[in-house]
Structure 1
């Protein structure tokens, strides 16, 4: 099945995924380059840190809503036109952020940034589902998440550098230039990949799906029109499709689990900038450097989990083949209980993440040597990415024809949760200090763990009922 799944060559697949990954950096870059500069922005704009944190909340709310609308369109009408349109919106908002000093404008432009960048994360997952077979999808999803982790690692450094040496406006001048180049590269090189339009890649898409440079485009099949006729009929766009997916029990289990743990990561990223400035007296550049550990953890874990997921897939396939052989049945070509293949390695990362969150909070509260919270922040970033990449890959596996929509569902839940967390973290720290704040968040996360156990045991039954 892998050999016939996609007509794109290995080099073409890799080229497409690299460009998609670079565009996928828009969302983490826009988020984390901003956080080290929060104290400076608050001072320059003349508002409090809590008010600037509301711009982060606004970003997260828009980040949750925008993919819900765009992803459904991308699953029906194609990835390419949406990439071109949404990235243009993002670039325009960066231009505005580079010149404004108005708090009201900050709120609006941050929402536009999220609306232009967040859909690309869902579209990227869809592209990987389009061109990569399920047996290797975990590795490519890990690679995709890994480059996002690099954005998380180096974004705060860039934010700190620009905030200290050029002013915080320089952050958005850089984002404008970098992603304008990405936009040009995508528009020139990347073809449409949606399987409902191009099949395995050999059916020529409409004119808007064809790039001027054919380097990453496979040759059309001689019987392209026959293949086009065999494609499933195009469905109507359902803008509420990602929301409707939340009625599925297995989706709810995965998204509540991943969303609650994502909150701990988001809150740690927002809170640490102010805590390191107030309690450790660090400059914007030093704060940016402190974020390296979290991003490095994200990058390392995503690559490791990609390999782990590919291994787990093979292990589960062997188990199912052995079980069928005992019953005298033909060996399966693909894993039937994909839930078990993906979830089997989540116990250790889940336990480690919650322990790291608690330790992170208490080391900051007692002002332990700076190395301690930075080390725990490394594990928070890495282990959260392990959970996120695994659940994201599982959701794409379960809804391969609606990969962008289900990724938008993931984004919707985790960003709504994170928006609430960002809004309440400072009042929580003011009321109960840092240690008990992160202990409380960890306890809430642990309450969601039985949901993944239920998905492991019963998920294949729930899927078959669909």
Structure 2
């Protein structure tokens, strides 16, 4: 319904004037289209790719991004086995989870800013080479120390794949269609946390824990080859709207074969206005963006407030995932594989949320566009968001999911403490991930909207805040349960998201002025640099 309502909007003469003054390309690499004397200025298409090409590209990027959550969760059912293997206590083996998440948060700050400048293809190559080598090392580990250290290196290799996926969405999708594509992006990423424990439990129980890492190394090798052979570079600094002929390292094998075909004599080598602008930037490579995430989160107040709140909401469900193996093994004496199956309701909840949250984001965006006198009939063209209440468009859609997430988090703790079976926890896990995924989807869309030219650095900053608070939650949840009980420990987790909820209202009220001030600061900085 959301996309249908938006597409049926009729443009009146008054609305056309309003739209012509506001509907301009929003990224700095896009030039204005020529003025037509018979009508208003029409911006060029944001991307040369069709709707289905965008969907397939985002799905492919999301499949690669699955390695980060898959790697984090595939390890959980084998924790007790590893503790016995290396003769360490549960707290020491849980430290490998905490350190993994710390590196998962820190590494994308460097690679995300690097990808904004050098493109995602070199970034993928670096990440997956590190990741594959780390998996081989983990499969051959002979001590707890090597397991702990190489696990950190494994995290460094896989962590940036989610940030790179969000960069690709920002590169090819406009704000009017971004909600739906964020939903597509979340589907494989949502499957990873649930598929991981099932796969890890089966491998650990029937082949041994070392095969967990051998399988990850094989899958990552196949994915890397497929991405480098068939997936095009999308970085707008290098390829513009997708039509710029970039350096060989940015072209797929399919593209290079196509370039070698004889050209039609009647075909000209013209490029779009967007391409001409980007062509001057192609091949740009700089080490300056490596710390862009730290700079961005320290200078952009709106981004900082939003990411911190999203991290608070994220911490609770991660605590549930981290404590579930030890809690349910003690309560129900389940095997590794059975514990793995308990994570499947999380996948179902994430899939449902990805579908509905994406549609609600697009619908609410169109609703606010109508209020502003804008008519986003053509979603292939990017609206200028200056003066547009994008914060309300995104965060209002997140509200119902946030309430659901907080309520279920509190209920979860008391259910585990007093329930005599598995049915209630499974249903609550489904609902918890519906709520949490809906909030995450809205926050990711807003990050892309307010930082369109620094998507890699912004998504890496979000990854940092989420992972650091998630690591803290996973480290303290078991001791908290021991001191407070499950009911009160998770009541505290859920209560934090309610306690800090006024931050969302603050963002909706002050966000536009903060965004405008930050954009002006960036314009002044660019003027000084030039």
Normalised to the residue count of structure 1, the TM-score between the two structures is 0.93
Alpha-carbon deviations, 1:123-142, whole Å to 9, x = none?
11101111112211111111
Does the Cα contact within 8 Å between 1:90 and 1:113 map onto a contact in 2? yes
Pick aligned residue for 1:243 from 256, 270, 294: 294
Measure, in 1, the Cα distance between the counterparts of 2:289 and 2:191.
34
Measure, in 1, the Cα distance between the counterparts of 2:268 and 2:483.
65
Pick aligned residue for 2:359 from 307, 320, 334: 307
Measure, in 2, the Cα distance between the counterparts of 1:315 and 1:28.
34
Tell me how far 1:224 sits from its aligned partner.
4.9
User: Which stretch of the first structure deviates more once superposed, 64-73 or 419-428?
Assistant: 419-428
Confirm whether residue 131 of structure 1 aligns to residue 183 of structure 2: no
Pick aligned residue for 1:81 from 122, 133, 139: 122
- 1:52-91 aligned at under 5 Å gives the runs 52-91=93-132
- Structure 2 counterpart of 1:416: 468
Tell me how far 1:239 sits from its aligned partner.
2.2
Normalised to the residue count of structure 2, the TM-score between the two structures is 0.82
Does the Cα contact within 8 Å between 1:12 and 1:216 map onto a contact in 2? no
- Structure 2 counterpart of 1:259: 311
- Structure 2 counterpart of 1:103: 144
- Structure 2 counterpart of 1:170: 211
Pick aligned residue for 2:337 from 285, 308, 312: 285
- Structure 2 counterpart of 1:358: 410
Instruction: State the SS of the aligned residue for 2:290.
Output: coil
Tell me how far 1:228 sits from its aligned partner.
5.9
- Structure 2 counterpart of 1:328: none
- Structure 2 counterpart of 1:329: none
Does the Cα contact within 8 Å between 1:19 and 1:185 map onto a contact in 2? no
- Structure 1 counterpart of 2:194: 153
- Structure 2 counterpart of 1:210: 251
Tell me how far 1:14 sits from its aligned partner.
2.9
Does the Cα contact within 8 Å between 1:189 and 1:215 map onto a contact in 2? no
- Structure number with greater Rg is 2
- Structure 1 counterpart of 2:277: 230
Tell me how far 1:35 sits from its aligned partner.
1.2
Confirm whether residue 40 of structure 1 aligns to residue 92 of structure 2: no
Change (3 A) 1:122 1:432: same
Measure, in 1, the Cα distance between the counterparts of 2:142 and 2:355.
39
Does the Cα contact within 8 Å between 2:241 and 2:274 map onto a contact in 1? no
Instruction: State the SS of the aligned residue for 1:213.
Output: helix
- Structure 2 counterpart of 1:395: 447
Structure 2 gaps of 5+ residues are 1-24, 26-42, 376-381, 519-530
Pick aligned residue for 1:376 from 425, 428, 444: 428
- Structure 1 counterpart of 2:350: 298
Measure, in 1, the Cα distance between the counterparts of 2:408 and 2:198.
23
Instruction: State the SS of the aligned residue for 2:323.
Output: helix
- Structure 1 counterpart of 2:14: none
Measure, in 2, the Cα distance between the counterparts of 1:216 and 1:6.
22
Tell me how far 1:120 sits from its aligned partner.
1.1
Does the Cα contact within 8 Å between 2:416 and 2:486 map onto a contact in 1? yes
Alignment RMSD: 2.3
Measure, in 2, the Cα distance between the counterparts of 1:440 and 1:221.
65
Pick aligned residue for 1:426 from 459, 475, 478: 478
Confirm whether residue 441 of structure 1 aligns to residue 501 of structure 2: no
